[in-house]
């Protein structure tokens, strides 16, 4: 898993869900949902960011905590999608 992917995801979360407050610890294994950092609308914003930033396609069935609940899982998911070549057309 790429450290830079984790860093980019972390930066997105800090900017969009913590309003730029970088003082909170965001461990790569910390649940974003259980800690009320991201709600259902936030998940959709996160998916949009992942698709645009990393050029991947996120299927509705893949929008599950197993893929998107922690920064580590998100980065692993992005790495998996990139390895599979599952990208957006265009």
| Residue-wise pLDDT tens digits, 9-23 | 999 999 999 998 888
Residue 89 has pLDDT above 60, yes or no: no
CB 31 within 8 A of CB 70: yes
According to DSSP, residue 13 is labeled H
For 73, the token pair is 């899982």
For 18, the token pair is 């913590």
Single pTM value for the model: 0.88
CB 37 within 8 A of CB 13: yes
pLDDT value of position 5: 94
Rounded CA separation 65/83 (Å): 20
Rounded CA separation 68/66 (Å): 6
pLDDT value of position 22: 87
> Which comes out higher in pLDDT, residue 86 or 68?
68
pLDDT value of position 32: 96
Helix, strand or coil, per DSSP, at residue 57: coil
């Amino acid at each position: 898993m790429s450290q830079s992917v984790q860093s980019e995801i972390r930066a997105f979360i800090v900017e969009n869900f913590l309003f730029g407050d970088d003082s909170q610890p965001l461990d790569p294994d910390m649940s974003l949902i259980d800690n009320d950092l991201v709600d259902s609308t936030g998940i959709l914003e996160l998916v949009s960011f992942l698709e645009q930033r990393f050029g991947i396609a996120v299927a509705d069935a893949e929008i599950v905590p197993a893929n998107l609940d922690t920064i580590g899982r998100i980065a692993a998911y992005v790495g998996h999608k990139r390895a599979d070549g599952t990208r957006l057309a265009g």
